[in-house]
Amino acid sequence: MFSNSRPSLTLQQRRVRLMLATFPMIVVTGYVLYKRLILGEPQRRLPRPLDSGEKIEAEKPKER
């Protein structure tokens, strides 16, 4: 049904592709950990979901 027009990659080519895909994630993770552990930046947290009974009050625009 479908023809595989791409030639299969060698083992070395697959390893290089894997390194190129994971390297940015490793760098960013290391940078975030450096900021948290060395510079003392607090951990970012997601806001907790509201209970079904609570309502969100919209902020009123500040008057100038």
Predicted pLDDT at 41? 96
Reduced to 3 states (helix: H, G, I; strand: E, B; else coil), residue 57 is: coil
For residue 9, pLDDT over 80 is answered with yes
Q: What share of the chain in percent tops pLDDT 90?
A: 59
Q: How does DSSP assign 1-52, residue by residue?
A: -----SPPPPHHHHHHHHHHHHHHHHHHHHHHHHHHHTS-PPPP-PPPPPPT
Round to whole Å and give the CA distance between 7 and 5.
Answer: 6
pLDDT at 56: 58
pLDDT digits (tens, 9 = 90+) for 34-60: 999 999 999 989 998 877 655 656 656
Predicted local confidence at residue 6, as pLDDT: 81
In 3D space, the residue among 49, 52, 31, 26 whose CA is nearest the CA of residue 41 turns out to be 31
Q: Domains of the chain: which residue ranges? A: 10-44
pLDDT score for 60: 64
